[in-house]
Structure 1
């Protein structure tokens, strides 16, 4: 079979680690010319060496830097077909513990990056009748503890994806959102370290096992598993999928929380 992205050009924000890096590898394997964009040069260069992607060091929340990055893509390839808005992070803490600076940082890292990159890329995507995939989280569907900024902006990203799908689907640009649960990334490892300290757990594997013990699949995802969902939504295989929110969480969000205490008792 012909690779699904043969001759296509893709741009991935937050492309230096985790889901972004895995998506770069997946799209490259399927024939795409891939650009990974982020603020940290070293991890971007490492992804470029490992996958054959092209590194673009820029802040995806800065319109001027984004326009310069897009101009480089167009100068080299003359087109852009896929944007994966994956940059994110920050926003931990309850509202009462969240400073103005913390709030602005969460909004900039997650929502502003997706808004700016999609807005600036739209003219190219309209020309190519391309696809946008916005990476949100199951925190965009339900609230975890002490993560007010993160929860708020991940909810907002779903609204952004739906607005893009509503306004530009009729003009040939499809937009969909992906909501991963726990994924074994550097960022999640950091959260597991906190859990290890809190619960006296000695290894990351034990921490992930505890964090996912009530997930039906009983494990966290590998970044490549989320990348495969992103690749599907960005491909022609999803040609009639627009405005969808695809949950990739091992079943975490289908669990009826009030019945957890009855697990193993045959509760109906």
Structure 2
């Protein structure tokens, strides 16, 4: 298992922190040659120093940047086997409170970054008969409060996943999506700190406890746990899986919401 990705080249967007950084570490540890990209150079360099990955800064929602990252990957390694589109964020308001600028920023961060990078990478992935892992969210299946842009973007990623699976499966490319729930990333840590302050809870950990209280597993995921799901879908072990949406949310999607008060009483 230590060399499951030996000889494979993996490109990860949003690779500087959280799930992206954990996925870089996991796949590099199994023999992959990893390229991490994102808009901020400093965290990419930290991941590169820790994992041996190649750091290539860029904005995945910008066509020229996406193509430059793919070109650099091909120039360095000669091929591309796996694309993990993990960049995301933004879109934290209800529709009536969302400006045009906020809406565009949300779609750029959550949807366009995936579409543009996939478009740039697909010729190389077709040549390698590779695969794509799209990082959506449980927000791609359900709607949280006042997160319209994020919810729409993450829902659309599932449609993008299925469309690419349908179109490029005949050409040897698999495409699958992951829908994580709460994961202990820097973005979630900040959300939990803000939530705790607004709800008059003592600290960030109390925030995490509150939002996971009704999950069967009663906790948030660690980034490495989602990286393990990504590793499976990207590996040859998932060779007959495409167009799938794998939910990793601690069991939240299995809960019947009207029965939550009953569960609390038992």
Q: TM-score, length-normalised on structure 1? A: 0.97
Q: Matched residues in 2 for 1:75 and 1:259: separation?
A: 55
Q: How does 1:179-198 map onto structure 2 within 5 Å?
A: 179-198=179-198
Q: Which residue of 1 aligns with 2:260?
A: 260
Gapped regions of structure 1 (runs ≥ 5): none
Measure, in 1, the Cα distance between the counterparts of 2:2 and 2:44: 28
Q: How far off its partner does 1:172 sit?
A: 0.3
Alignment correspondent of 1:161: 161
- In 1, are the aligned partners of 2:158 and 2:177 still within 8 Å (CA)? yes
**What is the aligned partner in structure 1 of residue 142 from structure 2?**
142
How far apart are 1:258 and its partner, in Å? 0.6
Counterparts of residues 1-268 of structure 1 (less than 5 Å): 1=1, 3-263=3-263
Distance, in Å, in 2 between the alignment partners of 1:109 and 1:31 is 30
Cα offset, 1:265, TM superposition: 5.1
Segments of 4+ in structure 1 off by > 2 A? none
Shift of 1:264: 5.0
Q: Distance in 1 between matches of 2:104 and 2:2?
A: 44
* Matched pairs, number: 266
RMSD after superposition: 1.0
**Unpaired stretches in structure 2, ≥5 consecutive residues:** none
1:101-141, CA deviations, whole angstroms, 9 ceiling, x for partnerless residues? 01000000011110011111001000000010000000000
SS in 2 for 1:175: strand
In 2, Cα distance between the equivalents of 1:47 and 1:197? 31
TM-aligned CA distance change 1:210 to 1:264, over 3 Å = closer
How far apart, in 1, do the equivalents of 2:70 and 2:144 lie?
35
| 1:236 to partner: Cα distance | 0.1
Q: Secondary structure at the match of 1:263?
A: helix
Structure 2 Cα separation of the partners of residues 7 and 135 of structure 1: 23
